[in-house]
Amino acid sequence: MKTHLTQLLAIAAKTIAPELQVDILLERPKSAEHGDFATNLALVLAKPLKLNPRAIATQLIAALPSSDYIAKTEIAGAGFINFFLNSQSQQKVVKDILQAGQHYGRNQNGQGQKVQVEFVSANPTGPLHVGHGRGAAVGDCLARLLNANGWDVTREFYYNDAGAQIDNLTISVLARCKGISTEHESFPENGYRGEYINDIAAAFLTKHTVIADDIEVTASGDINDLDSIRAFSVAYLRHEQDLDLKAFQIKFDVFSLESALYTTGKVKETVQALINSGHTYEANDALWLKTTDFGDDKDRVMRKTDGSYTYFVPDIAYHTDKWNRGFVRVINEQGADHHSTITRVRAGLQALNIGIPKGWPDYVLHQMVTVMRGGEEVKLSKRAGSYVTLRDLIEEVGCDATRYFLAARRADSQLVFDIDLARAQTNDNPVFYIQYAHARICSVLAQWNGDKSVLLNVDLSPLENPHETALLQRLSAYPETVENAANELAPHVIANYLKDLASDLHSYYNEYKFLIDDETVKMARLSLICATQQVLRNGLDLLGVTAKERM
């Protein structure tokens, strides 16, 4: 319907201003009393035509071709045109949904192009914390949204398994293998103190074998074998993180290792390519990248005086590899602490001059999560020692509530995760509220116990009361919502839509009966709630949340 109205407006605009090329914007008004769609086209044309916007709006309406779906138009405010659709056009969405089923709301905007979404990408030094959980929820939802918009999506996890943090992990496990308490003065100052270090040490001493993704490591049990301790500890924690992700219903297509960028020579190749590009220089016994050539506030050190590379250098090598793998688009979902690396990585990629577009890759940065219980902040996990783990939340409130709550706010806003609210079986809990709406529909359809296929061909003309109109308008907005959420890289848009749709359904359910004697009205209403059920299921799937049939 939006496409239909846009075509009509394009014809009208060409009639009154044949020499102008304009972009036509159609939006859904926040209030139903302002119609089904509204456009600011008259205001856009006012300046070039040097006419009053309301006068242009009058001309546009007069020039609109006839349509079987428009009930009326009106001019509002400074010159907005509001479109009111007739019952036939509003009711058409029910059949569209029932015909499309799980494909309703999906499109081919991405045209099958390759996009990689990198998310979580936690250092293998401990259990996943709630910040990683937020990244997992947002990243997985982004992948689902992009897939629904026709992109060929690859989910990727990048392990920072090299550097100082892995050294600290190794000496922490070594200390526990020697029986040194985390409280003892000889325990490494920057060591990891959670209970999981004890578990790794015990497994190492018993020569345990651990399998993580594509690797299998057997501990030597020799406390003098630091290489074995390092390899085993990293594999052990990769396996632990795999279990966390499995409990969170997250699957990855590719796991990449920072260490592999060194062993395969990709870091060295990238550094040499940057030198060859002319965007580096030597100063103070260090190698610098001229990031100021690409908008940074100052140049950055690439290779330090001790010969080691700064952390953004392997990132440039890694993203070069992504480009070479054919990803026309890359989206990195990371914590807000990665903000400082964006300019440096993009500058390095531009300096290579290999055809990478400016502004590539995209970044979605999430803010911190504060966990509350009983009105007080929860700060510690016994297992992790210093932070609340993702597993803690899943065990407290379940996977569905954890996923919904972590994805339901803008990623760049701080998030308070209220455990008590997430556990509540009340309408104040948004995920319960949405799942309950789906379960209510399932209950009605089960009582009816009819053949759903007949709902495709029923008379929908009885659907004219305000609650039905509100539901129809909401359902018809779903495809645009999916498109907008993907364009804005904003899964919370889907969460908000589902909450509004559930509210419309609950209001309708509380006001009317469905299994009534009037067969025509009954079948029309059953068709409407069956369509609503489908959209609730489709939207919940984009969030990775279960569409429950019983509550």
Per-residue pLDDT reduced to its tens digit, 235-269:
999 999 999 999 999 999 999 999 999 999 999 99
What tokens were used for 118? 């990198």
Q: Which residue has the tokens 């009930």?
A: 71
Residue 143 CB contacts under 8 Å (≥ 6 apart), including other chains: 117, 119, 153, 155
For 245, phi then psi, to 5°, come to: -70, -35
Which range, of 30-34, 117-121, 207-211, 344-348, averages the lowest pLDDT?
30-34
Q: What is the pLDDT of residues 40-77, one digit of tens each?
A: 999 999 999 999 999 999 999 999 999 989 999 999 99
Q: Assign 212 a pLDDT band (cuts: 50, 70, 90).
A: confident
Predicted pLDDT of residue 163: 83
Q: What is the pLDDT of residues 299-316, one digit of tens each?
A: 999 999 999 999 899 999
d(CA 514, CA 450): 13
Span 319-332, average pLDDT: 97
Q: What is the pLDDT of residues 97-140, one digit of tens each?
A: 999 999 999 999 999 999 999 999 999 999 999 999 999 999 99
d(CA 140, CA 124): 20
Nearest Cα neighbor of 302 from 293, 314, 319 is 314
| Alpha-carbon separation of residue 409 from 219, 273, 412, 422, 431 (angstroms) | 43, 41, 8, 14, 13
Q: Is the pTM of this model over 0.85?
A: yes
Predicted pLDDT of residue 171: 97
Nearest Cα neighbor of 495 from 531, 529, 533, 542 is 542
Predicted pLDDT of residue 64: 96
Beta bridge partners of 83: 37, 73
pLDDT of residue 34 exceeding 90:
no
What tokens were used for 197? 């270090």
pLDDT of residue 385 exceeding 80:
no
d(CA 494, CA 431): 12
pLDDT of residue 39 exceeding 90:
yes
Q: Assign 382 a pLDDT band (cuts: 50, 70, 90).
A: low
d(CA 209, CA 64): 73
What tokens were used for 55? 């006068």
Nearest Cα neighbor of 313 from 283, 369, 275 is 275
pLDDT exceeding 70 applies to what percent of the chain? 99
Beta bridge partners of 156: 118, 254
Predicted pLDDT of residue 256: 94
Q: Which domains does the chain have, with CATH numbers?
A: 2-85 (3.30.1360.70), 164-254 (no CATH), 369-423 (no CATH), 427-543 (1.10.730.10)
What tokens were used for 341? 């690396």
Q: Which residue has the tokens 């609210």?
A: 421
d(CA 78, CA 45): 13
Predicted pLDDT of residue 63: 96
DSSP string over 275-293: HHHT-EEEETTEEEE-GGG
Span 89-94, average pLDDT: 91
What tokens were used for 273? 């390519």
Q: Assign 90 a pLDDT band (cuts: 50, 70, 90).
A: confident
d(CA 194, CA 381): 8
pLDDT of residue 281 exceeding 70:
yes
